[in-house]
Amino acid sequence: MIRFENVVKRYGDFEALRGVSLEVAQGQVVVLLGPSGCGKTTLLRTVNRLVEPSEGTVYLGGEDVRRLKPEELRRGIGYVIQSIGLFPHMSVLENVLVVPRLLGWERSRREARAREMLRLVGLEPAVFASRYPRELSGGQAQRVGLARALAADPAVLLMDEPFGAVDPPTRERLQDEFLRLQADLKKTVLFVTHDLEEAVKLADRICLMNHGKVEQYDEPETLLRDPKTPFVREFIGPSRTLLRLSRIPLKGLIEPLNGKVPAASVPLSAMAREAFSVLLAQGARSVAVTDEQGRAVGQVRLETLLRVASED
Ligand SMILES: Nc1ncnc2c1ncn2[C@@H]1O[C@H](COP(=O)(O)OP(=O)(O)OP(=O)(O)O)[C@@H](O)[C@H]1O
């Protein structure tokens, strides 16, 4: 869906991108990850032509983006940035309406769509539609930004540190909501972050960059299990084990209860990491696993978690 072919970007003598080739498949979330200044934002912006490559080509749906007018190109791409970029003098509803209006949708259709999008991102239109951006919390403003990006139903979303400016609990909630939405909407998403944990949580594939180049492009599990270069190994660092657990469903690790039900419990739908955190917090050796009715259906032992965490 998005293809970068040997993309180079120079600013004077400095090379911000040093030959990036990468393919983002339709419906996938690809996270661009890496330290500050490695070129993530620059690469992202070549897609909607806010940055023009010095060399190489970017294809969108098989078409060289240079062949499309920037305005037309951008109307087909949702763009969400950290500072949100809401227009302060427009209400929430008007902000979400911006692109449908540009597209010339007729009034009742675009208003219905804007309300639907607000509902989708968890903002009740009756409460929020007529508010102004200054009357929103950081998390709410970020949701409006997402609703606006989704309003014209673009196939592609570019998200540049969209959850970077909110506190950690809000950030987690927004991430969960993003995953829930993405499961239905199946957009092709290019997502920039410098937070490894966010990348592991959200990505179908992670592109780890360093100094304008791709160090490794892989599924999160593979990146964590099998770092290809010393840079990748160091970037992942000691969090590797815990992060791997956050990708492993608890379901496959359950053993029968042998008479005794452990005091602590986690739901069947949890990831291994959650069980690990509970065990550490309680200083326990095993944790009960409960079904939707809250019945204990088995247990997971600390040894099992430690074994799968260190398995190659
Ligand atoms: N217009 C510009 N002129 C000169 N240098 C630039 C310009 N834009 C970006 N750069 C440089 O290119 C490099 C890559 O920048 P970019 O914004 O892509 O990094 P990033 O990986 O997104 O970093 P961060 O996580 O800090 O946002 C940086 O060293 C930056 O200073």
Give the ipTM of the model, two decimals please: 0.94
* Rounded (to 5) percent helix, strand, coil in the chain: 45, 25, 30
41 CA distance to ligand 1 centroid (A)? 7
Which residue has its alpha carbon closest to ligand 1 atom 18?
39
Tell me how crowded residue 177 is: count the other CB atoms within 10 A of its CB.
16
Ligand 1 pocket check for 42: Cβ under 6 Å: yes
Instruction: Region of 27 please: left (phi>0), alpha (psi -120 to 50) or beta.
Output: left
Q: What is the pLDDT of residue 300?
A: 93
Question: Counting atoms of ligand 1 from 1, which one is nearest the CA of 209?
Answer: 21
Tell me how crowded residue 221 is: count the other CB atoms within 10 A of its CB.
14
Residue 100 Cα to chain centre, angstroms: 24
Domain 248-310 top-level CATH class: alpha beta
Domain boundaries, the chain: 2-238, 248-310
Nearest-angstrom CA–CA distance, 160 and 80: 6
SS3 266: strand
Q: What is the pLDDT of residue 48?
A: 93
pTM: 0.79
Tell me how crowded residue 129 is: count the other CB atoms within 10 A of its CB.
17
Ligand 1 pocket check for 293: Cβ under 6 Å: no
At the topology level of CATH, where does 2-238 sit? Rossmann fold (3.40.50)
Distance from first CA to last CA of the chain, Å, rounded?
A: 32
Ligand 1 pocket check for 82: Cβ under 6 Å: no
Q: What is the pLDDT of residue 261?
A: 87
Q: What is the pLDDT of residue 238?
A: 66
Which residue has its alpha carbon closest to ligand 1 atom 5?
11
Residues paired with 189 in a beta bridge: 29, 157
What pLDDT tens digit does each residue of the chain (312 aa) get? 999 999 999 999 999 999 999 999 999 999 999 988 999 999 999 999 999 999 999 999 999 999 999 888 888 898 888 766 788 899 999 989 887 887 778 888 888 888 988 988 888 999 999 999 999 888 888 889 888 888 878 889 999 988 877 777 778 888 888 888 888 889 999 999 988 888 988 999 999 999 999 999 999 888 887 889 999 988 887 667 777 788 889 999 999 998 888 888 999 999 998 898 888 777 778 899 999 999 999 999 988 888 887 775
Q: What is the pLDDT of residue 84?
A: 65
